[in-house]
Chain A
C-alpha cells in the first residue's frame, strides 16, 4: 500500500487517490497550435525507472491534485505537495494539523 501524505488530510492509503499522470509533463498553452508540441505532451512519456514526478487526485478526500515524487522501483515517496501553487502557499500559512509524528517521545502518547 502506498501511503500518500496528503498536505490537507494527512497520510492516507493510495486507494483513496486516483493516479492521474506524469506530473513532469508540461502541457502546451491552450493557444499553442503546434501539433507536435501537443503530440509530445499527450502521447510521449519519459517513463523512468527510479525518481518519478506524478500527479494524484485525492478523489475520496479533499479532491486536491497532488504532485508526488515517487520512486517507481522502490515505490518510496519522498515528497507530496499540492500541484496548484496557490494551494501550496495557503497550506503553508495555515496551522499544521495535529497528527502523530514518529519523532515525538513515546511517553507522550502512552495513555
Chain B
C-alpha cells in the first residue's frame, strides 16, 4: 500500500520524457484509497485544510497512518472556489503570527510539495479613502512591521504609479488617498494547493478517501474513537474536523453542541480572460464598500466583495451582491465596465463570532477542531494544516495557534480585527 517509492518527481525533464511518449506514463496524483478499519488519525474534510493537516502529520510528526475522509471530491469546498488571495496583514495577537507563519510556508510550498502551486508574490494593495481609514490601517501595518512582516505605506501618487488605471479622477465619489502594500502577498492557484497536498500526503502513506461521507461518531467512555461513514466504520484514536462551511453540522453530530459559528455564503466572480491588465492584488474595505480584485494567470479578473448577509448552506448567490460588487469595481477601476463576467459562484463560509478561526482541542477527548475560517481560509491552508497537525500530534496547541480556541468568547478574549462584535455576517 505504501506508494512512497513509486511516486515520480515532477520536473521539466519528466515532462519532456512524458511528452515524447504521449504522456502515457503519468500515474495518479494521489492513490484513490479505500478505507481501512482503523487509522491513527482521521481527518474529516478533504479540502485544503484537511489535506494539509494530513500532510504535516505525516511529514513533520511521522504519523503516516492517516485517513482523509471527503464526502465528495477533494478540494470541492471553499479551497476550490475562492479568490486565491494570500496575505498576512493581520494586527491582532493570535492572528498576526499565525498568518505570517502560513505565508512563510507558502513561499516554499511548490518546492516542498514538488507541485507548482503558482504562488505569485505580486503584492497586495490596500486602498484608503479617508484619514480615519489611513490611521486604522497604519496601526495594522505598523503592527505587522514590528512583528517582522513586510508592509509599506503608499501615497496617492505612489498608488497611481503602481496601478495607473485606478480611479484618480477629480469626480471620484471617494477619492483614493493612498494605500498600504504588502509586497510578499499575492495569489496562488487554488486547485493546485489541494492537489499538491493530496499528492504529497498520499506519497507519504496517507489514505485519501473520496466519496466517503461521515454519518456519525463512535463514542467510547466519553471519547471519540472513530466515525461511521457511508463506506463503513473507521476507527482512530484521534479525529480532526476540518469541514469549514459544514462545521456546525458535524460538530453537532459529534456532540460538541452549539458553536460560535454561522454558515454564510460568499460570492465570487471571474471575468472573461483578457490580456495583462492588473499586476497586483487591489482591495479596499471602507464605509462605502468592500472589494478585492486580481488577475489570474489565465487572464480572468477574479473579484468579490461582501457576504450575501444571511445564513445559508446553498452555494448560490443573489443579485443584490452582483450590483454591490460591480459598483465597487466600477468606482475604483472604471475601465472594467466593458469587461464581462464569465462566471459567478458562491461558497459557504464558517463565519465566526469575531472573524477569526479555531484550531483547537475540544471538550471531547479525541476530537480536534479546525474551523471558523470566515473569508480567510485559503491563505491559511499551509499554516492551518501545520498548526492542526501539531495540535493533534501533541494533543496540545502550538504557541502559534494557542489563542485560536473556542473558549475565547467565554473569557472575553475575542480576536476581532474589524471590531464588529458578535455578528458573524459583519466580519
Contacts and interface: CB of A to CB of B under 8 A. Distances in A.
A62 to B, nearest CB: 19
A39 B425 contact: no
Given A47-B248, A52-B311, 18 more contacts: A1-B318, A1-B320, A14-B318, A14-B320, A19-B309, A19-B425, A39-B409, A42-B422, A44-B257, A44-B259, A45-B259, A47-B261, A47-B263, A54-B311, A70-B310, A73-B312, A73-B314, A74-B314
Given A19-B425, A39-B410, A46 B258 contact: yes
B353 A47 contact: no
B310 A49 contact: no
B249 interface: yes
12 contacts: A1-B319, A13-B320, A19-B311, A42-B409, A43-B353, A45-B248, A45-B262, A45-B424, A47-B258, A52-B311, A73-B313, A75-B312
Contacts of A54: 310-311
Given A43-B422, A44-B259, A44-B260, A14 B310 contact: yes
B246 interface: yes
A21 B259 CA distance: 15
Contacts of B353: 43
Interface in A4-29: 13-15, 18-19, 21-22
Contacts, number: 69
B311 A40 contact: no
A75 B312 CA distance: 7
Interface in A28-53: 39-40, 42-49, 52
Interface string B257-296: 1111111000000000000000000000000000000000
A2 B265 CA distance: 14
B10 interface: no
B266 to A, nearest CB: 14
A78 interface: no
B26 interface: no
Interface of B: 246, 248-249, 257-263, 309-314, 318-320, 353, 409-410, 422-425
Contacts of A2: 310, 318
A72 interface: yes
Nearest to B407: A39
A64 to B, nearest CB: 17
B320 A49 contact: no
Contact of B320 (A15, A47, A70, A73): A15
A49 B263 CA distance: 9
A13 B249 CA distance: 29
A41 B92 CA distance: 25
Contacts of A22: 262, 311
A27 to B, nearest CB: 12
A26 B357 CA distance: 26
Nearest to B421: A42
B249 A43 contact: no
B258 A45 contact: yes
B373 to A, nearest CB: 15
Contact of A19 (B249, B258, B310): B310
A47 B310 contact: no
A51 to B, nearest CB: 11
A47 B409 contact: no
A21 to B, nearest CB: 7
B246 A49 contact: yes
Given A15-B320, A39-B410, A47 B262 contact: yes
A72 B314 contact: yes
Contacts of A48: 248
A43 B409 contact: yes
A60 to B, nearest CB: 12
Given A1-B319, A1-B320, A15-B320, A46 B248 contact: yes
Interface in A66-83: 70, 72-75
A73 B78 CA distance: 17
